[in-house]
Structure 1
């Protein structure tokens, strides 16, 4: 399974708030359209961000799972709501599931393959969540 590293507070906003668009300077590769991915909170925060709330201080960990449902160039931000920026690609997200406990992992640029032990820890938490639902 692939992961995408996203700086905080954005990764936490995807996992625990209503952020369902990821702003990127590059177009989503076609192979990832419709893919289920892991959301990784990067080691470095976005110092320019002004988002507040719980779960936004986790670093270097998988915090959620999401499905990428689309990608489009946005001349304006208003097509995807308050989390969207203009003049970037909007990657739309759905079926976001926050992990009960962040799973420590070292990130990378772009899409990256999660080590087997990290994936096993994520899958264990997701299975427990399904069984408790």
Structure 2
């Protein structure tokens, strides 16, 4: 299973609100379409966003598990409601499960492979499907 690092407050919005699109400058690799991934809250804050709600103050930890259901390019950002950015790839997310307890982990750029102890800690909280 792979993980994706997302800056706060966006990781918290995925985990605890209705944010079901992740904006990226790069297209989702085809082999990740339909994959279950870990959502990791990065160590940096997106300074253009406001922080509020649970898990928005969590940094450097896995906060949720989600399925990537699609990817499309958007010029105007209007297709995905208030969460979609202009001139970005929108990765759509579904089956989001927030972790009751964030699991500390060091993130990375792009998709990355979490250590076995991180996967085990997540597994103790939610059922993970075996995916590449």
Q: TM-score, normalised by structure 2?
A: 0.94
Match of 2:3 in 1: 3
The separation in 2 between residues aligned to 1:105 and 1:14, in whole angstroms, is 18
**Unpaired segments ≥5 residues, structure 2:** 128-132
Task: After TM superposition, give the deviation of residue 49 of structure 1 in Å.
Answer: 1.0
Show CA shifts across 1:78-122 (max 9, x none).
101111111000000000000000000000000000100000000
Match of 2:61 in 1: 61
Tell me the secondary structure at the aligned position of residue 7 of structure 1. Answer: strand
Matched ranges for 1:1-133 at <5 A: 1-127=1-127
The separation in 2 between residues aligned to 1:81 and 1:50, in whole angstroms, is 18
Task: After TM superposition, give the deviation of residue 52 of structure 1 in Å.
Answer: 2.5
Question: Greater strand share, 1 or 2?
Answer: 2
Question: Greater helix share, 1 or 2?
Answer: 1
Tell me the secondary structure at the aligned position of residue 50 of structure 2. Answer: coil
The separation in 1 between residues aligned to 2:99 and 2:75, in whole angstroms, is 33
**Regions of 4+ moved over 3 Å:** none
**Unpaired segments ≥5 residues, structure 1:** 128-133
**What RMSD over aligned residues (CA atoms) do the two structures have, in Å?**
0.9
Match of 2:130 in 1: none
The separation in 2 between residues aligned to 1:43 and 1:50, in whole angstroms, is 16
Segment drifting more, 75-84 vs 60-69 = 75-84
Q: TM-score, normalised by structure 1?
A: 0.93
The separation in 2 between residues aligned to 1:53 and 1:100, in whole angstroms, is 14
